[in-house]
Chains A and B, each alone.
Chain A
Amino acid sequence: MCSGGDLIVNLIEYFVSNFTFILGYTWDHIKLVGLAIIIAIVIGVPLGIYCSVNKYAASTILQIASIMMTIPSLALFGIMIPVLSLINEGIGTLPAIIALVLYSQLPIIRNTYTAINNVDPDIRDAANGIGLTTFQRLIKVELPNAMPLIMAGIRTATVLNIGVGAIATLIGAGGLGGIIYQGILRTNNTMILAGAIAVAVLALIADLFLRLIENLFTPKGVKK
């Protein structure tokens, strides 16, 4: 075991000398999680909106999404292998993205659903009374006012996926998990720690970045 001081020196040395190597893994990680989140938004936000207009569907959809979250990530990756092997995609990016998309659904659907339900009923009543169609009400009133909460769901999903994405390296999807995995194989603590730190920093930066986006998309009158 080395002392704390040594560890930090080693870490800094590792980051400096393997800068491009880490950057490459980081970029793979961003691509993996980014693609998964975009797909997750495209599926989850409309599903959340649908839940807000159909209460029966809502309980079923939210339950399925909750169950998805309780499956351990390693098991989910494992299940994906035999299923996707049928189309020769058992390992690699596809199963990883599918798993990440599934994990993102609960925070995205639930937040979208809650956000739209939480729009002040008087505001919805005014929108109806004034003569907005259901679609106009959604686009002009409900979604803009629901934006902060929807974005919070997307942020949660992203941070979650950056963590889960590190495990996806086990099924050959690449990303920062690769550094941690190689560290484990070589019993190189510095490498393991470097990979873990890179994942954490990426999650923090992603969160910050999404807060900026949220700020951009949230109408001025809705900000607190």
Chain B
Amino acid sequence: MIHFNDVTKIYNSNVKAIENMNFTVEEGELVIMLGPSGCGKTTLLRMVNQLESITKGDIMLNGKSVWHSNKIEMRRNIGYVIQSNGLFPNMNIEDNAMIVPNLLGWDRKKMRDRFNMLMELVGLNPDEYRKRYPHELSGGQQQRVGVARALAADPPVMLMDEPFGALDPIIRTHLQEEFLQIQKELKKTILFVSHDIDEAVKMADKIALLKGGKMMQYAEPARMLNKPANSFVAEFVGQDRVLKSMSLYTVRDLANALTLKPVIESPDSQNINENLSLRVAISKILNQEADQLIVENDNGTRKGSITLDLIEQFLHREIKESV
């Protein structure tokens, strides 16, 4: 758990980078800090592992004040990933990934097993990459190693500063999805910086939207999209915010909230799995010019059908409800 308690950061006694910040990243949550360039995201992140000092207030890390912690020891218990990956050019991939376990004095066998396990986790063949050097890897591969290095000593907390920001869109999407899978399994407490609303909507449990060092809104993605706290938030998340929010709801969410339409058999009727998002559902309806989709669960049991009308009704209801 990371708790920001009235945190203020002033650089050089005149630049106010963060002002009275109060929020909590709960255990196992992935929180994305979002906001325009210069709004203080990196500063806030770096105060957690004390790469920047706190001017006023305090940050509690699993109940312990970072002020009063031993910096070195604390940092070894926090996974740290930065945009430029920061791999050490002089060390091969295994030494890079195992730097923290090495500092902690793990034995060789344990480190080797951990390396093999982590490389599999981030989708790289351990034996193929073990003895290679960072400059011999592509940007995406380097960033995977960066993630493996951060996870090496199994820290409960991770800080990630635009970890996929330097990658091209296709690789970025890949890594985002892979990282979400990893997070589903590991349930780390993660504070993640991004300037990309789509990335945040896709990955975050909660989004913290900052502007000029102040919190504009702290909420679940769907809530932020459907019920922005002010006009800055509404503008930042984009005109298509309602459309974006559709990727956050599954067909099942709709089925649980509203009564599905009865199934009308016709030769060109289409099925949709209830675990798919409403975004997929609506594309399917528009693409195939079907009036309705038959909702099925994993066993193939039909639960009813959905139409454009029903989706619209659901969204209206969500937008109103998430006040």
Hey, which bits of chain A sit against chain B, CB under 8 A? 120, 122-123, 125-133, 136, 140-141, 144-145, 219-222
Contact B149 A130 (CB under 8 A): yes
B106 sits at the interface (CB 8 A): no
Q: Quick check: A125 and B92 within 8 Å, CB to CB?
A: no
Q: Which residues of A contact B49 (CB under 8 A)?
A: 129
Known contacts A126-B80, A136-B103, A220-B133; A131/B88 CB under 8 A: no
Q: How far is the CA of A129 from the CA of B134 in the complex (A)?
A: 19
The answer to whether B87 and A129 have CB atoms under 8 Å apart is no
A129 lies within 8 A of B89 (CB) = no
- Nearest Cβ on chain B to A194's Cβ, whole angstroms: 44
Minimum-distance CB pairs A-B, first 9: A126-B86, A221-B133, A131-B75, A131-B76, A219-B90, A129-B80, A144-B90, A122-B84, A221-B89
Residues of B within 8 A of A222 (CB): 89-90
Q: Kindly state the interface size class of chain B when it binds its partner.
A: 20 to 34
B82 and A125 form a contact (CB under 8 A): yes
Asked if A123 contacts B89 (CB within 8 A), the reply is: yes
A125 to B86, Cβ gap below 8 A? Answer: yes
Shortest Cβ distance from residue A122 to the other chain B in the assembled complex, whole angstroms: 4
Q: A179 CA to B51 CA in the complex, in Å?
A: 60
Q: Which residues in window 47-86 of B have CB below 8 A to A?
A: 49, 51, 71-76, 78, 80, 82, 84-86
Report B-chain residues with C-beta under 8 Å of the C-beta of A123: 86-89
Write out the residue numbers on chain B whose beta carbons fall within 8 Å of the beta carbon of A221: 88-92, 133-135
* Chain A residue contacts of B225, Cβ below 8 A: none
**20 cross-chain CB contacts under 8 A:** A122-B82, A122-B86, A125-B86, A126-B82, A129-B78, A129-B82, A130-B76, A130-B80, A131-B74, A131-B75, A131-B103, A132-B72, A133-B72, A140-B91, A141-B90, A145-B89, A219-B90, A221-B91, A221-B135, A222-B89
Residues of chain A with a CB closer than 8 A to B197's CB: none
User: CB distance A140 to B75 under 8 Å?
Assistant: no
Nearest chain A residue, comparing its CB with the CB of B86: A126
Distance between B147 CB and nearest chain A CB, rounded to angstroms: 13
Instruction: Mark each residue of chain B from 193 to 215: 1 if its CB lies under 8 Å from any CB of chain A, else 0.
Output: 00000000000000000000000
| Interface assignment of B100: CB less than 8 Å from any CB of chain A | yes
Q: 19 more A-B contacts (CB under 8 A) besides A140-B88, A141-B88, A145-B90? A: A122-B82, A123-B87, A123-B88, A123-B89, A125-B82, A125-B86, A126-B80, A126-B86, A128-B51, A129-B82, A129-B86, A129-B159, A130-B75, A130-B100, A133-B72, A140-B91, A141-B90, A145-B89, A221-B135
